[in-house]
Copies of this chain bind each other. A is one copy, B any other.
Amino acid sequence: MSRFKSEKSASGARSIGIRDIARSAGVSTATVSRFLNKPESVGADLRDKISRVIDETGYIPHASARALSSRRTRTIGAIVPTVDNAMFAQGLQALQSYLATKDYLLLLATNEYDIDVELQQARNLVARGIDALILRGDERHPILRRLLETNGIPFVNVGLCEPAKPYPSVGVDNYEAGRVLARYITDLGHRRVAVVAAHQRNNDRAQARLRGIIEVLEQQACAPGPGWQLQVDYNLADAGDAARILLQGESRPTAIICGNDVIAYGVMLAAIRMGCDVPRDLSVVGFDDLDWSRHLLPSLTTIHMPTNEIWVRAGRYLVDLLAGQAPIKHQQVDFSLVLRESTAPPPKT
């Protein structure tokens, strides 16, 4: 029956393959394959002929077959907490554009801030045959490391930079960023400072930032008590709740340092609704410098993170590595303090 194999289920015009192209062009499959992967290794006349046949037929090479035999998928995976978040979205967009220029595809997965989910997603990506993986931060399931190792999948951590660690990383020094920001607040004269951080669990960037902030505040002898150190989820509503808690009491902070711009904005909106004048009564600062932070009212003083650059560099690191080069293993990217309208010296009283 094998002579009927191409007549599957009525509609089944079997899609054309490399053998069809080879036959039409009067060459071998090997030559077509070489044309596809390294055109300059094929003679000019054959090159033209093959090219013409491919254009005419609209032939598209079968990526799975390619991946199977070459053991490379030209696919890079990335696992982030969620794409529903301006910062990741922006960086991923930039990464994707970059990878497209290198003829790589980005395969995206989310871990919902859960290292078990992350492991599961990583398994998924590995099964899918990614050539390399980009991970957010540095805290992850121990089995994940083994998984990547035994499958020989290179990876890079983004969002932090720890030259002491054996794993490659691209990012800013979050600890130092925390210090700079806190220092700016204390230099303005604030001594009653509260901190609304992102949840610390499994989030080393948030931890490093907080560590830097607290350290500076301690040096200035104004470390916030436990009631003035809150942790919230990444959204406006929760941040607003935190602000209401901080501002309802008798003794209020004159400045609130927030773990990122979204939290800062949530805090600011709630404070204004409570009748606070930002920055006259209360200064608010964040991290990340999201696109809209400079448009807000008041615009937000924050730490600018070169998000796009970080993600693109991470992508480039892996692409170079896969191309057999030896890129720089730890790339520290500069952040900067952006002064805007949401900060001022504390009120006199």
**A interface, CB within 8 angstroms of B:** 11, 13, 15, 58, 60-65, 67-68, 73, 75, 82-86, 89-90, 92-93, 96-97, 105-110, 123-124, 126-129, 147, 150-152, 235-237, 240, 265-266, 269, 272-273, 291-292, 295-297
Contacts and interface: CB of A to CB of B under 8 A. Distances in A.
Contact of A110 (B58, B96, B240): B96
A86 B272 CA distance: 24
A107 B108 CA distance: 7
A151 to B, nearest CB: 7
A292 B292 CA distance: 12
Contacts of A128: 63, 75, 105
A127 B83 contact: no
Contacts of A96: 83, 108-110
13 contacts: A15-B150, A58-B147, A64-B65, A64-B73, A64-B129, A65-B68, A82-B93, A84-B86, A85-B89, A86-B86, A96-B109, A105-B124, A269-B297
Contacts of A15: 150-151
Given A62-B129, A63-B128, A129-B63, A295 B240 contact: yes
A84 B73 contact: no
B11 A152 contact: yes
Given A63-B128, A96-B108, 4 more contacts: A60-B123, A63-B127, A83-B92, A108-B108
Contacts of A93: 82-84, 110
Contacts of A236: 291-292, 295
A83 B73 contact: no
A232 to B, nearest CB: 14
Contact of A266 (B90, B108, B295): B295
Nearest to A74: B128
Q: Name, among A64, A67, A124, A273, the residue most crowded by chain B CB atoms within 10 Å (CB to CB).
A: A64
A83 B106 CA distance: 13
Contacts of A86: 84, 86, 89
A150 B123 CA distance: 33
A345 to B, nearest CB: 23
Contacts of A106: 108
Contacts of A273: 297
A96 B83 CA distance: 10
Nearest to A273: B297
Contacts of A92: 83-84
B269 A61 contact: no
B108 A60 contact: no
Given A110-B93, A128-B63, A295-B266, A58 B150 contact: yes
Contacts of A107: 105, 107
